[in-house]
Amino acid sequence: MPEIFDIIIIGGGRAGLTAGIYASRARMKTLILNEGTVGGQLVLTHEIANYPGVESTSGFQLGNIMKKQATAFRCKIKSNIIVTKFDFSSNPKMVEIDGNEQFFGKSVILAPGEKPRMIHVPGETELKGRGVSYCATCDGDFFTGKEIVVVGGGNSALEEAVSLQNMPTRSLSFTSLTTFRLSRMPLKRQRQIPKSAFIWNRRSGISLGMIL
């Protein structure tokens, strides 16, 4: 007879770990299956200073604290695995990992997270979390007084640039387009930011090691 969990959680980022903490603390038999390092994108962040109740820490440390909290309530965690098959129509539900190990649960919570869209230029991977950020409102304060480059040509890119207007000494906005794909208000606000500039139709030749 296979071991049956009350809850299987697919994903070990902040959402998955939070679900694991609550479920296991409620004395539910809980299993977290996580592809990669526990903590998700959180562990890639060099410094976190805007998390409620935490003055300053690294994403790796905060992720480890969440992991310890979950395991302290007897939540089981399997990381660095690959989910290869699942059957949510069965009772109990089945999740297979690495093509050879199956787990069964009465309920399954999906918390797979997401990955930021990378632009695949030199320096991006090496500097991720150490100068390369995918959230201006999260990390912009760390770059106060420095040149900041925003890459993109849509509303999100320009809104990120606008949110940085009180922080950088100079803001550059790169786009691979000859015109922006956005509403007028973000563009109007961006153009009002002092010491800001646009670089149009730039798809290749960007080196993040150089501009950061």
**Catalytic residue numbers, as ranges:** 135, 138-139
Other beta carbons within 10 Å of 210: 10
**According to the 3-state scheme, what is the secondary structure of 92-143?**
CEEEEECCCEEEEEEEEEECCCCCCCCCCCCCCCCCECCCECCCHHHHHHHH
Task: Give the E-state strand segments of the chain in sequence order.
Answer: 4-10, 30-34, 76-79, 83-87, 93-97, 101-110, 147-151, 170-174, 196-199
Long-range CB pairs of 97-100, under 8 A, 24+ apart, other chains included: 97/33
Peptide bond into 168 cis (omega under 30): no
Residue type, 206: I
Half-sphere CA count of 112, side-chain side, radius 13 A:
7
Cβ–Cβ < 8 Å for 147, 170: yes
Half-sphere CA count of 193, side-chain side, radius 13 A:
26
